[in-house]
């Protein structure tokens, strides 16, 4: 009998779901707790994810992608984060924050040049927007790009960059017109090995310890003009559209965390006995599990709604923001409750739930803090914010031309 979730999706999606969850259970979950303990990046997963097409899942086949739709990206994100946030983050950063922006904003030559290597995983890519002094306030970023003939010279530093020390390609944002605020920002594709480009890893993270988080330093890095993505001054719009892609994966991944918390809590609650009966029969334990299920049901629908709009090529900044805001907060609640259900054992890394709790704290900060999303939603509802048409909207999913 098909579950309610399966009925929401097509048969193709459900086959993707089975495949992605099998991958997570067989390949990710047996190794990820140890990587988390040691703060090491699971390099061994990259070729496996590349071979299955995860790294280019929703890119058209003509650019080397798997030609699947945005809902499939959500399903894979959910399944990977069921195992651990760090693995889902790799897909989100590589694909949603680097490859998809090139697909959306790049020239045909840039798409043909850059996308096949990204889809195949031959090159791993990241996204450099945040700086030591510029996070949510993107317009205040300090990196500079000065045009000199057919090149730009980039100087500056990026901070809290996922995959910084792993990536071969970097989509970075710098000001070409410093006096223009957000309108003075441009986007550039940099390559590892270029003179003046160095990276490093940040230590001491609370969560997502199996992911690589680091910094990018640019000291007079010479970038060919052909590596500028979009027009000069279009960087802020590009960055915001990138977030529409990545926030969707974050939201879907958070649904995976909630599902993992439910599965682990139900299993534990049925086995663990106190006062002569399984703790699943205690009403306050039931309350915590019921809240997790409530959040899962809502989160699934929000992700499905945002993904469906993406498939149709409809602007979805508000819906994706809502999904990210709700799902990340819901995942944090679910992980907190899951640790509580497990009691003292949940506080130990013997069980996965404490790792999920640490991981979920990062997701309510990155890709727009919960406070930013609160303000965004208020602004939409109060008609104080309106999404204007983009010069390069993300194309609608078209199975005939994408496959």
Partner 1 sequence: MNVAVLIKQTPDTAELPKVTVAEAESGELQATMVINPWDEFAVEEAIDLSDRFGCETVAISLGRQGEVDALKHALAMGVDGAVHVDESVIDGGDEWATAEALAAAVKKAAGGEDVELVLAGKMSVDGNSGVIYAGVACKLGWDLLVNVTRIVDIVDGTLIAEQVFEGGQETVQVPLPVVISVAKEINEPRYPSFMGIRKASRAAIPTLGRDDLDVGPSHTTRWTDLNKPEPEDVQVRIFEGASVEEKAAQLADALMAERVI
Name the site residues for partner 1 (rule: CB under 8 A). 1, 3, 6, 10-12, 14-16, 18-19, 22-23, 25, 52-53, 57, 66-68, 72, 263, 266-267, 270, 403
Nearest distance, CB of residue 366 and partner 1, angstroms? 28
Question: Which pair of tokens denotes residue 288?
Answer: 């915590």
What does residue 161 show for φ and ψ, rounded to 5 degrees? -100, 115
Q: Nearer to partner 1 by C-beta: 14 or 142?
A: 14
Q: Nearer to partner 1 by C-beta: 160 or 268?
A: 268
Nearest distance, CB of residue 308 and partner 1, angstroms? 18
Q: Nearer to partner 1 by C-beta: 15 or 378?
A: 15
Q: Out of 81, 234, 354, 367, pick the active-site residue.
A: 367
Nearest distance, CB of residue 125 and partner 1, angstroms? 20
Contacts of residue 193, defined as CB under 8 A and 6 or more positions apart, other chains included, come to: none
Paired with 221 in beta bridges are: 154
CB-count exposure of residue 401 (10 Å: 0-12, 13-18, 19+): exposed
Directed axis angle between helix 11-23 and helix 45-52, to 10°? 160
How many CB atoms within 10 Å of residue 8? Answer: 15
Q: Among 194, 311, 306, 181, which residue's Cα sits nearest to residue 247? A: 306
367 included as an active-site residue? yes
DSSP 230-265: SSTT-HHHHHHHHHHHHHHHHHHHHHHHHHHHHHHH
Q: Nearer to partner 1 by C-beta: 27 or 354?
A: 27
Nearest distance, CB of residue 163 and partner 1, angstroms? 23
Q: Where are the alpha helices (DSSP H) in 274-369?
A: 283-311, 317-342, 353-363
Nearest distance, CB of residue 59 and partner 1, angstroms? 11
Q: Nearer to partner 1 by C-beta: 10 or 401?
A: 10
Q: Which residues are catalytic?
A: 367
């Amino acid at each position: 009998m098909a579950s309610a979730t399966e009925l929401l999706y097509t048969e193709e999606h459900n086959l993707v779901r089975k495949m992605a969850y099998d991958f997570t259970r067989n390949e990710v979950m047996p190794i990820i707790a140890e990587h988390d303990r040691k703060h090491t990046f699971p390099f061994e997963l990259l070729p496996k994810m590349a071979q299955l097409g995860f790294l280019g899942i929703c890119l058209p086949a003509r650019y080397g992608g798997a030609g699947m739709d945005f809902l499939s990206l959500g399903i894979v994100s959910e399944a990977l984060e069921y195992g651990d946030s760090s693995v889902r983050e790799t897909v989100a950063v590589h694909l949603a924050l680097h490859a998809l922006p090139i697909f959306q904003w790049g020239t045909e030559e840039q798409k043909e040049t850059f996308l096949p290597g990204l889809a195949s995983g031959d090159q791993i890519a990241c996204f450099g927007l945040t700086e030591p002094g510029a996070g949510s306030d993107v317009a205040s970023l300090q990196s500079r790009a000065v045009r000199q003939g057919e090149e730009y010279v980039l100087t500056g530093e990026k901070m809290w960059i996922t995959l910084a020390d792993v990536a071969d390609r970097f989509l970075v944002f710098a000001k070409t017109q410093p006096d223009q605020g957000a309108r003075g920002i441009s986007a550039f594709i940099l390559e590892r090995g270029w003179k003046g480009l160095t990276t490093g890893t940040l230590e001491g993270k609370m969560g997502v310890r199996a992911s690589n988080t680091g910094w990018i330093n640019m000291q007079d890095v010479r970038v060919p003009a052909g590596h500028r993505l979009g027009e000069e001054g279009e960087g802020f719009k590009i960055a915001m559209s990138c977030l529409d892609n990545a926030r969707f994966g974050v939201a879907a991944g958070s649904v995976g965390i909630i599902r993992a918390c439910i599965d682990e809590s139900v299993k534990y609650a049925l086995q663990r006995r106190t006062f002569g009966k399984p703790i699943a029969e205690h009403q306050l334990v039931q309350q915590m599990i019921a809240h997790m299920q409530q959040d899962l049901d809502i989160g699934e629908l929000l992700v499905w709604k945002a993904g469906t709009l993406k498939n149709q090529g409809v602007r979805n900044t508000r819906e994706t923001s809502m999904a990210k805001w709700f799902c990340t907060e819901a995942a944090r609640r679910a992980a907190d409750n899951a640790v509580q259900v497990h009691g003292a054992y949940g506080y130990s890394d013997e069980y996965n739930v404490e790792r999920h709790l640490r991981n979920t704290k990062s997701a309510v900060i990155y890709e727009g803090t919960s406070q930013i999303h609160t303000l965004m939603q208020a602004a939409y509802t109060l008609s104080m914010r309106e999404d204007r048409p983009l010069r390069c909207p993300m194309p609608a999913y078209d199975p005939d031309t994408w496959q």
